[in-house]
Chains A and B, each alone.
Chain A
Amino acid sequence: MLEVTGLRVAYGGIQAVRSITFHVNEGETVALIGANGAGKTTTLKAISRMIGIAGGDVHFCGEKIVGIAPHDIIRKGIALVPEGRGVFPRLTVLENLRMGAFLRDDKDGIAADTERMYGYFPRLKERADQLAGTLSGGEQQMLAIARALMSRPKMLLLDEPSMGLAPIMVQKIFEVVRNVAAAGMTILLIEQNAKLALESSQRAYVLESGEITLNGESAALLHDPKVRAAYLGE
């Protein structure tokens, strides 16, 4: 469904991503793990057209998406949950959800999806009229995920949903991610928390200094000695 081939991204003269190739099949959850600064966020930003690329190609559902405008990415069916959540702090929770559905006109469908999000995250329903900036970090992460789902995407890109959250919150959020995946969503999950990412995905790629050094079945990587040494603290 998503095919990234030879993708290169540079900031000024510095190569942040050096010719990486990976793919995500329909219905799969694929993890992209790596240490801080490995180039994970850069990869996602390049796919979602928030930054320009130095080379390579990105295809989504067979269509080249490298040349299109950033605001057209969501039209293609790709929804990004950005690093640091990126909720609109002075919009209410409900308005944030409506922003997720910005390109949709089907009032009834939007209302139904809003209820579905409240089902995933009852906390958001309680706080529907509160400004998003007043939510806790975990609640903001819930909101960012719910907002992305409001566009009814074909694929979800998640940038470190566990970042800075208490373990109990991380559990709740990953439970929803797994439910969404089980319901058929295609997911590219980016994480520094390798254990969590490998446990929640079918396949994974390991990114190191802008290069993919390992890839395979997540279950196998969980037992790979190199991965255990480098990312699982053993």
Chain B
Amino acid sequence: MDISLHQLLQQFPQQVVNGLVQGSIYALVALGYTMVYGIMGLINFAHGEVVMIGTLVAITVTGLLAAAGMPVGIAGLCGLVISILSCMAIGWSLERVAYRPLRGSPRLTPLITAIGMSIVLQNLAMILWGRNYMTFPPLLPKVNFEFAGAYFTLVQVVIVLLSALMMSGLVLLVYRTKLGMAMRATAQNPEVASLMGVNINRVISAAFVIGSALAAVAGVMVGSYYEVAHYQMGFVLGLKAFTAAVLGGIGNLVGAMVGGILLGLIEALGAGYIGYFTGDFLGSHYQDIFAFAVLIVVLMFKPSGLFGEKTGDRA
């Protein structure tokens, strides 16, 4: 082996930075899975597709506005806002059209519907945006920083900070507002919550709409981080974010956040060191196996996840 352990250790801070950035994105998406699951016990497999649509809407809107002469930063901000609104509308409709009519049916039915909706949204995106990879316009100036042996870009800093901001906002909403209290009560006992005057349908819609707004932000982050987008990008991203939610304990908000960050770190460090530990037999392009290995291990040994309550006890 040519690479020394010393060199590998030098890479460590860089891997941590990469993992934090990726993990912040996973966390935002994982929150959408976990909120819906916590309130209604449904795994909304179409959630990854909402992220994808968030990215593509942002590309289109930003592109159009920039072409019309708007400064790219402001065009990007408009793209973000319109992407959030579009995803909120899609999340809301998804619940109304696909899941609400199935309420009370066996658990497998909405799950299959969710997979169906995922396919529908992908195909819709393919029709609207085509099959080709699209480039995401650089929204932020390419500035680099160095800290403790790690390099990072302005985009990465913004992703981590914005994600932290969104997550704090969500925690405040859920634990400090009346809507949040109604959401928690509904997750714990929907029947009794409705006796208190809570309109369960509204709470469920709120969970979808809030989760989709976070998904849109995550979509714009992914777009500006990798600078490419594609109608199939939501699938693996969604699956990984779902893994993060399961790792943290699905239904648990803090779990989704911690699970997302942890999964990002596991992937980054795994990809960074897999070559070394397998004698270059496996390279960093195997990074996707870590997420799914984590999913399998968690499901085998601790299906309730890190922060999950005992099984059968949601949110």
- Tell me the A residues contacting B by CB distance below 8 Å: 48, 50, 69-75, 79-80, 82, 86, 88-91, 95, 98-100, 102-103, 147, 151
A69 to B202, CA, bound (A): 13
The reply to whether B188 and A99 form a contact with Cβ atoms under 8 Å apart is no
CB nearest neighbor in A for B190: A70
The reply to whether A90 and B184 form a contact with Cβ atoms under 8 Å apart is yes
Residues of B within 8 A of A79 (CB): 195
The 5 A-B residue pairs with the shortest CB-CB distance in the complex, in nearest-first order: A86-B192, A103-B197, A74-B197, A70-B194, A71-B194
Q: Which of B192-206 contact A (CB under 8 A)?
A: 192-200
A24 to B218, CA, bound (A): 56
The yes or no answer to B306 lying at the interface (CB within 8 A) is no
A99 to B178, CA, bound (A): 9
Contact with A along B179-190 (1 / 0, CB 8 A): 001101100110
A104 to B199, CA, bound (A): 14
The yes or no answer to B191 lying at the interface (CB within 8 A) is yes
For the complex with contacts A73-B195, A75-B197, A88-B184, 11 further pairs of A-B residues with Cβ separation under 8 Å are A48-B195, A79-B195, A82-B195, A88-B188, A95-B181, A100-B196, A102-B178, A102-B196, A102-B198, A103-B197, A151-B196
Residues of B within 8 A of A100 (CB): 196
What's the dominant secondary structure at chain B's contact region?
helix
- Residue B191 contacts which of A50, A98, A99, A151 (CB distance < 8 angstroms)? A50
The reply to whether B185 and A91 form a contact with Cβ atoms under 8 Å apart is yes
- Tell me the B residues contacting A by CB distance below 8 Å: 178, 181-182, 184-185, 188-189, 191-200, 315
Given known contacts A91-B181, A98-B181, A102-B178, A70 and B188 CB-to-CB distance under 8 angstroms: no
Given known contacts A71-B197, A100-B196, A89 and B181 CB-to-CB distance under 8 angstroms: no
Closest chain-B Cβ to A24's Cβ sits at a distance in Å of 18
A95 to B197, CA, bound (A): 15
Closest chain-B Cβ to A190's Cβ sits at a distance in Å of 15
- Residue A69 contacts which of B178, B193, B199 (CB distance < 8 angstroms)? B199
- Residue B185 contacts which of A50, A82, A88, A103 (CB distance < 8 angstroms)? A88
A98 to B199, CA, bound (A): 16
Residues of A within 8 A of B185 (CB): 88, 91, 99
Closest chain-B Cβ to A160's Cβ sits at a distance in Å of 15
Interchain residue pairs with CB less than 8 A apart (13): A70-B194, A71-B196, A71-B200, A74-B197, A75-B197, A82-B192, A86-B191, A86-B195, A90-B188, A99-B196, A99-B198, A103-B197, A147-B196
A50 to B195, CA, bound (A): 8
> Which of B182, B185, B196, B315 has the most chain A CB atoms closer than 10 A to its own CB?
B196
- Residue A89 contacts which of B188, B194, B195, B200 (CB distance < 8 angstroms)? B188
Residues of B within 8 A of A91 (CB): 181, 184-185, 188
A90 to B186, CA, bound (A): 11
A80 to B181, CA, bound (A): 20
The reply to whether B189 and A71 form a contact with Cβ atoms under 8 Å apart is no
Residues of B within 8 A of A88 (CB): 184-185, 188-189, 192-193
Closest chain-B Cβ to A50's Cβ sits at a distance in Å of 6
Residues of A within 8 A of B199 (CB): 69, 71
CB nearest neighbor in B for A50: B191
The reply to whether B200 and A99 form a contact with Cβ atoms under 8 Å apart is no
Closest chain-B Cβ to A130's Cβ sits at a distance in Å of 15
CB nearest neighbor in B for A132: B188
The reply to whether A71 and B188 form a contact with Cβ atoms under 8 Å apart is no
A25 to B181, CA, bound (A): 35
Residues of B within 8 A of A74 (CB): 195-197
Closest chain-B Cβ to A228's Cβ sits at a distance in Å of 35
The reply to whether B195 and A80 form a contact with Cβ atoms under 8 Å apart is yes
Closest chain-B Cβ to A102's Cβ sits at a distance in Å of 5
Closest chain-A Cβ to B192's Cβ sits at a distance in Å of 4
A69 to B195, CA, bound (A): 10
Closest chain-B Cβ to A147's Cβ sits at a distance in Å of 8
CB nearest neighbor in B for A147: B196
CB nearest neighbor in B for A69: B199
- Residue A151 contacts which of B184, B193, B197 (CB distance < 8 angstroms)? B197
Residues of B within 8 A of A102 (CB): 178, 182, 196-198
CB nearest neighbor in B for A133: B188
Closest chain-A Cβ to B17's Cβ sits at a distance in Å of 35
Residues of A within 8 A of B197 (CB): 71-72, 74-75, 102-103, 151
A182 to B20, CA, bound (A): 62
A100 to B189, CA, bound (A): 14
Residues of A within 8 A of B200 (CB): 71
Residues of A within 8 A of B198 (CB): 71, 99, 102
Closest chain-A Cβ to B107's Cβ sits at a distance in Å of 20
A132 to B104, CA, bound (A): 27
Closest chain-B Cβ to A81's Cβ sits at a distance in Å of 9
A107 to B272, CA, bound (A): 56
Closest chain-A Cβ to B69's Cβ sits at a distance in Å of 48
Residues of A within 8 A of B188 (CB): 88-91
A171 to B197, CA, bound (A): 30
Closest chain-B Cβ to A151's Cβ sits at a distance in Å of 7
